[in-house]
Structure 1
Amino acid sequence: MMSFKCFNHGRSWLAGLLLMGASWLAQAAVQPYTVTAPDGVSIAVQEAGDPNGQPIIFIHGLLGSHLSWEKQVESPELQRYRLITYDLRGHGRSGQPGEGDAYSDGRRWADDLAAVIAGSGARRPVLVGWSLGAAVATNYLAAYGDEKIAGAVYVGGVIELKPDQIVAHPSVYSGMTSPDLKTQLDAEREFVALCFATRPDADTFQRLLANAAMASENMQKAVHGMSLDAPKGLGAMHKPLLLIYGARDALVQAEPSFNRAKALNPSVLGKFYPSSGHSPFLEEAQRFNHDLSAFVDAAMRARR
């Protein structure tokens, strides 16, 4: 016959198991949804992790999608946070407006991010912007300030669209806007390859190529002229800001970009991953996830 003590122990174990199951179901039940930007563009949003955790909003780069962040969304270390991803306009499942102004006007991208923050109800999220996503975060800061966020992490971040900060690949970028489909697809494949010093596994790389092929042609033609106000955005930010660059980045000039950010905002912190190229969050995912977790926790403590 089971003793009362054993019964209580078993009941506690069962209660714990049920609580774990309820927590897992709450996380698993989160569904993709859409928000609408002020200009009417539909923005696809996705969530994972703990719906009651500190929000992190991930902003992917040129020719990517929310799938760029799989190593973060699936990370056991990051599951205690509310992980919010979205597809930039002209990418993935989000709308693809036809007019060039929809992409060259940096305020449009800022408004998209503001719509994601408002539509998700995320309170004081940490922004994580990769490459072009960092420029989107900067334009958000220039338009809305940093009051509604807890901090930001730029990864391979574009600080300004200037020749001393961007590696020149004229044949790649011109090929990506070619009217010849073969030329366009080959250039997109080369661009994706340039994102890595160490290429990911074949399935991941093929998926990233598919991401690129889905991107709007009009966006690719217009985005390189996107307005970007770094002094008003990054320069005026008072919340914690961490810049992470791969030392082997083939698309962004890592040191000049960091130095420019530091000149704009002396409080900026930086980390350089020696083995990574343009995508440290994929190439050194475990280290990146650990650094991100530490940054988010520190930003939460600073907020109190």
Structure 2
Amino acid sequence: MVLNEIEAKAASKLIQKGYLDIPIPSGLDVVAEINRLRKEKNAVILAHYYQTGDIQDIADYVGDSLGLSQQAASTTADLIVFAGVHFMGETAKILNPSKKVVIPDLKAGCSLAESAEPNAFRAFREAHPDHVVITYINCSAEIKAMSDIICTSANAEKIVNSVPLDKPIIFAPDKNLGRYLIKKTGRDMLLWEGACIVHEAFAIDKLLELHKQHPTAKIIAHPESEDHLLKVAHYIGSTTGMINFVKNDSSQEYIVATEAGILHQMLKEAPQKSFIPAPSHEDNTCACSECAFMRLNTMQKLYLCLRYESPEIHVDEAIQRKALLPIQRMLEISKS
């Protein structure tokens, strides 16, 4: 079978598999090829902190959802390769409708984004027409298009506080982040009942037992975690906030309650410190929470999507125009 036949077969099964299933020649230096193709195609590789370490190391920019959105909004690249999950690629496409945006695996979804089904959310919003709708960036393009302002965990408090006090708020889709923000801001928001399966996987009993074994360790947690876990945390913040905290804090040991991919950046930023992944309910080899969706992306898939510029992210033009406005509002508020 000649190469173009292999490519055609892989393309025909793209939707079914989610990625291009094309063999990579034995001995191919994937890192060198990615670097060559990136330069040749004027491509930028954006990666989330929850990606594997090898993907983080080869990316042009590694960050949280806010930082990635800001990078996507300002890039001069012709091709955006998004090593993250589907809603992140959609956000980049919304910000860059004329650019090609690709993702290593189309099936890299998000349990939190999937918890807000568009038709159900539309009915929820229509039932509360006087409310300002703030949606967490972990949602689909369709949900963004029904929103007034988007937020990330890094700027959520600032976004909530930007809404006049006489305006009632719907906050979606993460109920845990919403409850945390109600406590932080004092706003009585109406919450959508969505959650991230990774951040709800942490076991409080195992965490407290682990802390007994490491009594000097500080517990740091992402605000998508459940309330009983946040109550015992010494620091609560976004992924970037957590990295900055461990880098600048005087302690030497931390128990980290978020997706385990973040440990790679923490060790790079503070190599002299110790980081222990918070334990999950599930009994697994690492005793930590990993996002199965984030782990669908690999270096091989990254190389293939850069080489063949596929799978490509598409967003309906009408949805793109509507979704762009609340994202731009978020980026504008984040500047001040």
TM-score of the aligned structures, taking structure 2 as reference length: 0.30
Structure with higher RCO (Cα < 8 A, 6+ apart) = 2
User: What TM-score results when the alignment is normalised by the length of structure 1?
Assistant: 0.32
